[in-house]
Amino acid sequence: MIKLSPSILSANFVRLEEELKILEKEGIQYVHIDVMDGMFVPNISIGMPVIKSIRKATNMVLDAHFMIVEPERYIDEFISLGCDIINFHFEATKKHMDIINKIKNANKKVGMTIKPNTSYEEILPFIKYLDLVLVMGVEPGFGGQSFIESSLEKISALRKYIDENNLHCELEIDGGIKIDNVEKVLKAGANVIVVGSDIFEKDDKSAIIKKYNEIFKKF
């Protein structure tokens, strides 16, 4: 099943609850939350208190994307905040299996994320333990960038590996997705689609979500 995971990085934070209600009304299952530390990426976004407030405001699945160095320092806190999916970057840590085990033992879903310059082969040994692989379509750090086309080959290769090995790992793409290039990532085999600016910068967010859902029906 194809899922849309709107990234609230481009939302109006003063009206966040209102914007979350629009997503709920449109039947959105995942909400993508970008946490940046100003070290792993050259930007600082939102942190723990905001996630706590979002958790109280909605029952949608919280798909958290942590762009922070040594995420192992905060795994307990991410779990207790009520994140449902915890994505950490392959490049940000040496303690991959410790992190995976901790998240799984807490009955949360674990995702591993790769930046555009990281080869998909690096994460193959971990895929059998993961619930999700998150492929970046842009250099992490900012919304509104252009999609890096070479990410398509990575998605195709990962889709092939997941299917051939009969794994149940979701394949998510994040960054640079717009209504006019989403078919390409769907064809390549992604099944969770993060969209930030193309939804939140529109006046009519419901209308654009409906357009994505129309395209998803073809896959």
Residues 6+ apart with CB under 8 A from 142: 43
Out of 34, 37, 63, 131, the active site residue is 34
Residue 9 interacting with ligand DX5 (CB under 6 A)? yes
Q: Which DSSP state fits 5?
A: E
Question: Residue 66 Cβ, how far from ligand DX5 at the closest point, in Å?
Answer: 10
User: Which of ligand DX5, Zn ion, none does residue 111 bind to, with CB < 5 to 8 Å depending on kind?
Assistant: none
For 10, phi then psi, to 5°, come to: -95, 10
Q: Which entry of ligand DX5, Zn ion, none binds 176, CB below 5 to 8 A by partner kind? A: ligand DX5
Instruction: Find which of Zn ion, ligand DX5, none residue 189 binds, CB within 5 to 8 Å per kind.
Output: none
84 flagged as catalytic: no
Give the residue with the Cβ less far from ligand DX5, 26 or 198: 198
Active site residue 174: yes
Of 155-214, binders to ligand DX5 (CB under 6 A) are 174-177, 194-198
Burial class (CB within 10 angstroms; exposed 0-12, middle 13-18, buried 19+) of 119: exposed
Strand order in the sheet with 85-89: 3-6, 192-195, 170-174, 132-136, 109-114, 85-89, 61-67, 30-36
Q: 33 Cβ partners below 8 Å, 6+ apart?
A: 7, 8, 46, 51, 54, 62, 63, 64, 65, 83
- 118 scored as a contact of ligand DX5 (CB under 6 A): no
Of the pair 14, 166, the CB lying nearest ligand DX5 is at 14
Binding residues for ligand DX5 (CB under 6 A): 7, 9-10, 32, 34, 65, 138, 140-145, 174-177, 194-198
